[in-house]
Amino acid sequence: MRKIWWKILCVVIIFYVIIMGFIGPVPRLAIINESIRNTYFHVALWLAMTTLLLLSMVFSIRYLTKGNIKDDDIASEVAKAAIFFGILGCLTGSVWANYTWGDPWPNDPKLNGAAVGILIYLAYLLLRSSFEDEQRRARISSVYNIFAFAVFIPIIYILPRLTDSLHPGSGGNSTFGSYDFDNNIRKVFYPAVIGYILLGLWIAELRIRIKQINRVREEALIESGKL
């Protein structure tokens, strides 16, 4: 029997985040006002996405060193879950930007970097789909995945800090941690990150299992001589 405790934990955390996120106490700040609740969704989604991408890269490295095709399955599905979170993160960020900066897509380096990051990973999916042979696809897309992550981190986290960005932590704006990140937020924010990561793993796990079942069935078909 597969372990289900972490799935229960995931559901509990997500509900906790949704309920506390909407009715819990938050600090009162000018301009941001109640929209600070979006921290639980937007910021946490981005952190979860980065963690999942890191995980995906680790499994790609593992595939290259050990050559086990299962590692590549994990890498690709985790990356897909991460892209899903990335798109959600963009959408929630867009809502937030609309109310605080007055524009759903202000010309901000971090936003553009995020869009480019998602493009990089969509290209990864395209690369995967252009190979027939499984081992070949796994090897080449693993190489690209590692390369992509190494470029993705500077785009999202380093380059925007060098220029003026509307986001906290860049261009002279202070980071969240410094003044307005009080304990009430922390109590919801950290569980939120963990909850999203668990949710992403859950999505990925289901898809990996489908993939592996399909593979076993295909092999059975080939062996029985019908294909």
**Contact (Cβ atoms closer than 8 angstroms) between residue 128 and residue 152:** no
For 92, other C-beta atoms within 10 Å of its C-beta total 19
Q: Which helix (H) or strand (E) holds 184?
A: helix 183-223
Which segments of 31-68 does DSSP mark as H helices, in order? 42-66
Closest to another protein by CB, 117 vs 195, is: 117
Site size for another protein, by CB under 8 A? 27
The binding track of 114-153 with respect to another protein, each residue x by CB under 8 A or -, is: --xx-xx--x--xx--xx---xx--xx-xxx-xxx-xx--
Task: Please tell me whether residue 51 binds another protein under the rule CB under 8 A.
Answer: no
Tokens of 59: 């499994």
Closest to another protein by CB, 119 vs 213, is: 119
Closest to another protein by CB, 14 vs 159, is: 159
Q: How far is the CB of 138 from another protein (least distance, A)?
A: 10
Alpha-carbon distance of 168 to 162, in angstroms, equals 13
Closest CA to 201 of 84, 108, 120, 88: 84
Q: How far is the CB of 133 from another protein (least distance, A)?
A: 9
Positions in the binding site for another protein (CB under 8 A): 64, 113, 116-117, 119-120, 123, 126-127, 130-131, 135-136, 139-140, 142-144, 146-148, 150-151, 154-155, 159, 162
